Every structure is written in C-alpha cells, then in structure tokens.
Amino acid sequence: MKVFRCKICGDPYLGEDVPTNCPFCGAPSKYMVMAGYWEEPVIESLSEEAKDNLYSALQLEVDNIRFYKCATEMTNDKEGKQMFRALSKIESEHASLIAKILGIEKPTVTLDKIACYPSYQENLKDAHAREERAIKEYSKFFKAAKEPRIKEIFQALVQIESDHLRLAEERIKK
C-alpha cells in the first residue's frame, strides 16, 4: 500500500494507486503526490487583494456547506442524499483550507432547514447555479492572484467546482 498526499488540502490517502480525485477536497489526481515528496506549502505574505478574495471564497464555501447540509436532510432521493452529503464535506474541506491560509478559525456551519428547497430537482438546479457562481468567482480570483500558492489553489478549486457542476448537470437531465 502507498501513501499519497494532496498538494491542495494536504490530506493523506492510502491506496495502491492514485485516486481519480482527492477523496477529501476533490482535487484532480494531478495534485496527488507520493507522501515522501510532499512539502507543506509556505506563503510568505498575502496581498490585500488575495486576502479579500480568500475571505470572499470562504464565505462562498460556508454558504454552500449550509446549502448542501440542508439538501442532504431534505432530499428523499437516496443517491441525491449521499451526493449532497459528499459535496458538503468537500466544501467544508475547502473552507478549512482557506481558513488555514488566512490564519483564522473555520466558521462553524449548522444545519439551516431554510437554506434549500424541499424538492430534489430544485436543489439540483440551485447546486448547479452555486457551482457556476463559484467557478466564475474562482476564475476571477485565479487571474488576480500574484502568489503562486494562491493561484494554484484557485485553479484547483475551478477544476473541482467544474466537476460538481457536471455532477449536477447529469442529474438534472434525468
């Protein structure tokens, strides 16, 4: 068995092969490296623009955690319930990463049953809109980033949220 680490979230993964996506943050396999080659990324300093963008990203992730937690509770579709649960965990991992970079505590997110719809299909449509918004924002933040690590994180987040967008699209069509 091998030990891998994700270059985005830093979490370790045990397995014979590199997973298609990090099981914790959803980053594509290209961000997975053998644990022995992984080094904790160091960010010397953050520009004010990077800090502002990271705080905006954190708020977006917290809002999406709240939504996905609600959708998990409200959805009667068995697969949909598990999908929303997994998305909530991934968004929570993103929030943890961003809070760590900012040097703050990750905000606590509690279940709010009015943060979503009672209908699975409506929640899928809302998930789709949320992922589109995240991709748009993170693409903008990626272009603005001067710090290589921040650029890398926003690039990975665009890829991850694009996967989530396709996930919603596939289910909306059903």
pLDDT tens figures, 133-166: 999 999 999 999 999 999 999 999 999 999 999 9
Q: Rounded mean pLDDT of 78-85?
A: 96
Can you read off the two tokens belonging to residue 22?
A: 């990090």
Can you read off the two tokens belonging to residue 162?
A: 């694009």
CATH of residue 20's domain is 2.20.28.10
Name the 3-class secondary structure at 83: helix
Q: How many domains does the chain have?
A: 2
pLDDT band, very low/low/confident/very high, at 43 (cuts 50, 70, 90): confident
Can you read off the two tokens belonging to residue 114?
A: 């009015």
pTM of the complete model: 0.95
Q: Is the pLDDT of residue 11 over 80?
A: yes
Same domain, 28 and 53: no
Percentage of the chain exceeding pLDDT 90: 90
Instruction: Let me know if residue 43 belongs to a domain.
Output: no
Instruction: Let me know if residue 32 belongs to a domain.
Output: yes
CATH of residue 158's domain is 1.20.1260.10
Please give the pLDDT value at position 28.
97
Same domain, 33 and 78: no
State the Rg of the chain over Cα. 16
pLDDT in tens, 82-106: 999 999 999 999 999 999 999 999 9
Residues 6 or more apart whose CB falls under 8 angstroms from that of 37 comprise none
Residue entry with tokens 């001067």? 146
Same domain, 30 and 56: no
- Domain of residue 56 covers 48-172
Bin 103: left if φ > 0, else alpha if -120 < ψ < 50, else beta. Answer: left
Q: What are phi and psi of 88, to 5 degrees?
A: -60, -40
Same domain, 157 and 97: yes
CA pseudo-torsion sign 107, 130, 71, 166: negative
Span between the terminal Cα atoms of the chain, in Å:
38
